[in-house]
A and B are shown apart, each in its own frame.
Chain A
Amino acid sequence: MTQTADPREFNLIPGHISEFASSIKALHGVDANMCFQCRKCSSGCPLTEFMDMTPVQVIHAVRLGLKDEVLNTNTYWLCVACGTCTARCPQETGLLKVMDALANIAIREGIQPKEPDIAAFYKSGLFIIKNFGMMYETGVAGLLSLKTGNLGRDAALGIRMLKKGKLEVFPHFQNSREMKRLFKKVAKKERELAQS
């Protein structure tokens, strides 16, 4: 017989709508409490086999207020935003935006990402578009290799793409001053909203 671990215990208050779910609703406009656990989101999700928690478990955990549990999964980092969950949800819960909200919160609160490479990829990409005004794929790959120390993996694909002329060797600047201004203005507005 296989041994199963004892179920973990959490302090839950029956009938209580979690503060965590309420704060996600207030900031991102998605209502986790609409979910009736039909699991269509998870049966359609192409990545469940790689995830710590399936999407339906994530939304349930959000409702229960298990903030640390949810933020310490790899689920929202692995989400590729393909939208299957959201498109098929009969309750229009907006799971895709819950995933975004979780990443937003995790970044803001400095949670150690469970998928550090993916988090580093997004961070590098954001740095590039902020400073160049457009994507520079070679630059992102370079930054990522430096951050993750995984030079071999990224270089192999990079070299193949360079050979095919699918990558630009040098970066271009596209309206980068305007881009930096927008980044600054959005950050300022977000700070104001967080304080209000």
Chain B
Amino acid sequence: MKYALFNSCSLRASGKDYYQSLLRLFEIVGIETEELKNWICCGSTIAHNASVMLADTLPLKNLAEVQKQGSDQIIVPCTACYNRFKVAQYEDEGDSRLKREIEKIIDHKFEKPVSVLHPLEILSTDENLSKLKSKVRRDLSHLTVASYYGCLLVRPHKETGFRDDPEYPMSMDRILNAVGIKTTDWSHKVDCCGGSLSLTRPDVVLKLTTKIIDDACACGATAISVPCSFCQLNLDVRQDDLNRLGGNYHVPIFYFSELLSLALGVPESELMLNKHFVEGEKLLVKV
């Protein structure tokens, strides 16, 4: 069955590279998708500060569109959107008064819930793992990657229900291992990078991202793999800042989908690796 695909705000701007590599990956693995058409912003980091009701209405409106488009499953690659969709569903289910009010506002009744999925959840099924294994075209075994999951996918676990361990997730590691990329054990897998404070309190963000990058390096990682466009940008661009302050940081931050696509034989020219601040191409070449 075809999945609906939420090609949302950030995937059209700062996360273009993420979206591009995902599409190539889905094509190779044979995951059929159809873009959600009548979508709106889900309000992610912004709406819940101002109004809890608005914060739940916007994602549920999108989920109503999924059903109108004839699907009951949607892939949500942006982890901020993913988190917001899941939390809204959870709160809606737990509060019948809220549910009634929101259904009136969006003019749609949910007979059954839409299943909201992150690409990591789909790719890490046994079936897809063996598919990935069988399609490897390029040897990337010289890389040691720290898989960084960030916060929004895994927490609060009761609400997001992400199909993995919330304190020490392994799905991204398993996927990367399946295509022959080594991953490392490390302590900051699910720590926060400071996401929404990026513009307003760069001092805070710099401190949080430095801790993450330092720990990855200390554990032997030569690159970091992320499932989120905010994490990618934050970890990537802050190294530039650190180097301006006299640091020496050159850890490429790849989307997991880019590493997978490369391993499955997608040439670098078809991905948007040049959108990254820290250059990663040199690392990919096996010496």
Contacts and interface: CB of A to CB of B under 8 A. Distances in A.
Contacts of A165: 16, 275
A29 interface: yes
B199 A121 contact: yes
Contacts of A87: 154-158, 166
Contacts of A117: 200-201
A19 interface: no
B192 A80 contact: yes
B41 A78 contact: no
Given A84-B155, A175-B40, A122 B240 contact: no
B54 A82 contact: no
Nearest to A102: B49
Contacts of B198: 157
Interface residues of B, number: 59
B200 A118 contact: yes
B53 A186 contact: yes
Interface string B27-60: 0000000000011110101111111111101100
Interface in B168-224: 191-192, 194-202, 204, 208
Contacts of B271: none
Interface of B is mostly: helix
Given A46-B192, A189-B101, A107 B237 contact: no
Contacts of B45: 81, 125
Interface in A65-115: 78, 80-84, 86-87, 92, 96-97, 100-101, 103-104, 107, 115
Given A82-B155, A165-B16, A175 B46 contact: no
B230 to A, nearest CB: 10
Contacts of B13: 135, 137, 166-168
A182 B106 contact: yes
A134 to B, nearest CB: 5
A137 B105 contact: no
Given A78-B197, A182-B61, A125 B46 contact: yes
Nearest to A167: B13
Given A118-B200, A182-B105, A84 B192 contact: yes
A164 B236 CA distance: 12
A165 B233 CA distance: 12
A123 B49 CA distance: 9
B277 interface: yes
A121 B155 contact: no
Nearest to A86: B156
Nearest to B198: A157
Contacts of A161: 14, 233, 237
A78 B50 contact: no
B127 interface: no
B40 A82 contact: no
Nearest to A172: B12
Interface of B: 8-10, 12-14, 16, 38-41, 43, 45-55, 57-58, 61, 94-95, 101, 105-106, 151-152, 154-158, 166, 191-192, 194-202, 204, 208, 233, 237, 240, 274-277
Q: Report the 5 A-B pairs with minimum CB-CB distance, sorted nearest first.
A: A83-B155, A135-B9, A82-B192, A82-B151, A125-B46
19 contacts: A46-B191, A47-B194, A47-B204, A80-B151, A81-B45, A83-B151, A100-B52, A103-B48, A115-B201, A125-B45, A137-B13, A153-B202, A161-B14, A164-B275, A166-B275, A167-B13, A179-B41, A183-B54, A189-B105
Given A120-B200, A133-B40, A178-B61, 17 more contacts: A50-B204, A81-B196, A87-B166, A100-B48, A104-B51, A117-B201, A118-B201, A121-B200, A126-B46, A129-B43, A129-B46, A137-B14, A160-B277, A166-B13, A174-B40, A186-B105, A189-B53
